[in-house]
Structure 1
């Protein structure tokens, strides 16, 4: 299927859901609730990782980016994969950036269900290795845990300073 046809179909699906008031749990996006990866295709070859981060970070903190490059020349192939720290950012990026034009080219932004990282390189940093092993989809809290969400994120109480405030002396 033509990439521009895919752009159009995704936008039509989003418009149809918006007009019908479809709830989040039955939206087409819910199929991708376990993946924080998106695909971006059709952008100008001269864009760098930094350029892509500038555009796509407006919808959330990015955990990883894989700009696909030609192995021989090192030049961009015009598509990449991004992993957000929060899966909900993928929905915002797909809904708002699919079909936009960057330097005269219409880009396609879509969810990725089963991201397969490229073959490991020896020069890969520890953070990238960990992300590829563990993934970057949100970790859901363990329902068997007795700790409530408020307790989990509660700030520790401040300890009183030693000696406290000087007492007032009356003469």
Structure 2
């Protein structure tokens, strides 16, 4: 089937669900509730991973992207696979960016049931695998109760100097 026909059909399904108020387990999205991966087709060939991240990060935190490239030339093939931290972000991305025009090309965005890393990435060293699995985003530390001594270490001492300049001492 023509990719543009797929885009139109998916948008019709989404519109129909919206009109009927279909949510949760009755939605077609529920079939993909165990996968945080999406497929993006129709990408302009001159886009980089960073460009794709800029567009798709508005719907959630991204943890992985695989922009498929020609092995000999290194140029993109016009499609990518992207993984969100939260699966619910995939629903937002599919609903809002499927059929979106980007640099004159119509994007096809759809869920991926089971994504498998390419062979060369499966055979990568442990550090590369860990970075691909965990992403490169900084981890937010969990809130832990701290002792008074630790709190005192982080107290900022302020000293006022002439003419209203404030200097911070740590």
Q: Deviations over 1:90-122 (max 9, x none)?
A: 000000000000111101000000112111259
2: distance between equivalents of 1:17 and 1:104?
28
Q: Which gives a bigger RCO, structure 1 or 2 (Cα 8 Å, sep 6+)? A: 1
2: distance between equivalents of 1:20 and 1:33?
21
Equivalences for residues 1-171 of structure 1 within 5 A: 1-121=1-121, 124=124, 126=126, 128-130=128-130, 155-160=143-148
- What TM-score results when the alignment is normalised by the length of structure 1? 0.76
- What TM-score results when the alignment is normalised by the length of structure 2? 0.76
CA pair 130-161 structure 1, distance change in 2 beyond 3 A? closer
CA pair 7-125 structure 1, distance change in 2 beyond 3 A? farther
Which stretch shows the higher mean deviation, 122-131 or 28-37?
Answer: 122-131
Flag structure 2 segments of 5+ consecutive residues without an equivalent: 136-141, 151-170
- Normalized per residue, the structure richer in helix is 2
| Alpha carbons 1:64, 1:128 under 8 Å: kept | no
Flag structure 1 segments of 5+ consecutive residues without an equivalent: 137-153, 163-171
Q: Deviations over 1:26-68 (max 9, x none)?
A: 1100000000000000111001101000000000111100000
2: distance between equivalents of 1:97 and 1:20?
21
CA RMSD of aligned residues (A): 2.7
